[in-house]
Structure 1
């Protein structure tokens, strides 16, 4: 009986946690990593063949940092911050030495009432600073980006849409934690805060 109970408890501990909303679910899974697959996008998108892992790495009451590994590329970190009026999403992109990429710290702020505590789906329309960055870097297709993060049915979804254009989504199974990937490249230059 004890052996069965022990197996049940260890099995429960291996499962990802769920909570009321998207931000809260990320916080509840702090320290865990999950495999992802492209659930929306072009059939020939190189992301479909990639090994994708999100690692809910750093969590506080107001911020969650989630590195996204794309094969051996550890350059991407989602930074979700609870702010007055909602949530802010920023994409922190780094080089292997930890230095910032030319295209980094882009994203947007949720629009009220989106982003309130308990929301399971949050939209982040591109902000003015990101539009200026995209225009400066010649990424004009990105000036109309909207990112979405959602949780439903044990899945975490990251989605990027553009009017009349791209609709891309990666889904991660929160019921099956895996071993975390190597540290994201931002760890090579600790101390840079935004």
Structure 2
């Protein structure tokens, strides 16, 4: 009997440690709000990669994203955080970080130099407002963002997950006008 319990413990232990080695990692959350449902959908997409391009690179600060392949991998998933490295060609400096807390759902942009140190402009983003759905959320610039980048006071980031079509859309508006948009398709295994 003792051996049986030890054996079961080992099975449970190794199952709990499953992750990026090709085995399934399942995290279940109570989805009580559209933000929770959106986060649960992100978790469903963990370990998936999306590739695409900028479809609206008109704004000069985003021109460097206009002519390169954009790649997002939903790489790190826990019950409270999802990290999505976002590569623009060879530039691997960006990571989208979705955090779930009692306050709601938060998006921040983590920018790093190649040596891993933080950019001067990093960790900006905002909280999801109440207009979102299980597949689309709108994140309005938070106080930290406004303090860091005053002209971003009206920023709204929209992230859309088209689950059946296998699409990830990142859209930024400022002053109610389009500023940047990227459309990425899920890479098939």
Is the shorter-chain TM-score for this pair beyond 0.5, marking a shared fold?
A: yes
- Counterpart among 152, 158, 176 of residue 170 in structure 2: 158
Q: Give the drift of 1:43.
A: 9.5
The CA deviation at 1:76 is 0.3
Look up the SS of the partner of 2:129 in the other structure: coil
Structure 1: any 5+ residue segments left out of the alignment? 1-12, 14-19, 179-194
Are the structure 2 counterparts of residues 71 and 130 from structure 1 closer, same or farther at C-alpha, using a change threshold of 3 Å? same
> Matched residues in 2 for 1:150 and 1:164: separation?
18
Match of 1:144 among 150, 154, 165: 154
Structure 2 unmatched ranges of 5 or more:
1-21, 23-33
Alpha-carbon distance, 1:156 to partner: 1.0
Q: Distance in 1 between matches of 2:127 and 2:176?
A: 22
1:138-158 deviation line (CA, Å, top 9, x unaligned): xx2x22211111112321111
Moved more, 98-107 or 36-45: 36-45
Whether the 8 Å contact between 1:57 and 1:66 is mirrored in structure 2 is yes
Residue 119 (structure 1) aligned to one of 129, 134, 137: 134
Deviates more, 1:52-61 or 1:23-32: 23-32
Q: What is the CA distance between 1:88 and its match in structure 2?
A: 0.2
Partner of 1:56: 74
For 1:57 and 1:96, locate their aligned partners in 2 and report how far apart those are by CA, in whole Å. Answer: 19
C-alpha displacement of 1:83: 1.8
Instruction: Please give the alpha-carbon distance, in whole angstroms, between the structure 1 residues aligned to 2:42 and 2:153.
Output: 27
Work out which structure has the larger RCO, using CA pairs closer than 8 Å and 6 or more positions apart in sequence: 1
- Write the distance in 1 (CA, Å) between the matches of 2:183 and 2:126: 20
Mapping of residues 13-32 of structure 1, within 5 Å? 21-32=37-48
> Given the superposition, is the C-alpha separation of residues 125 and 168 from structure 1 closer, same or farther in structure 2, using an over 3 Å criterion?
same
Q: Return closer, same or farther for 1:163/1:155 CA change in 2, 3 Å cut-off.
A: same
Conserved in 1, the CA contact under 8 Å of 2:72 and 2:87? yes
On the 8 A contact 1:64/1:81 being kept in 2, the answer is yes
How many residue pairs get matched? 151
Instruction: Tell me the secondary structure at the aligned position of residue 130 of structure 1.
Output: helix
Aligned-partner SS, 1:101: coil
- CA displacement at 1:102 relative to structure 2: 0.6
TM-score w.r.t. the length of structure 2 is 0.71
Equivalent positions of 1:176-187 (< 5 A) are: 176-177=187-188
| Rg comparison, structure with higher value | 2
Pick one of 171, 175, 181 that aligns with 2:183.
Answer: 171
Q: Is the 8 A contact 2:50 2:167 kept in 1?
A: no
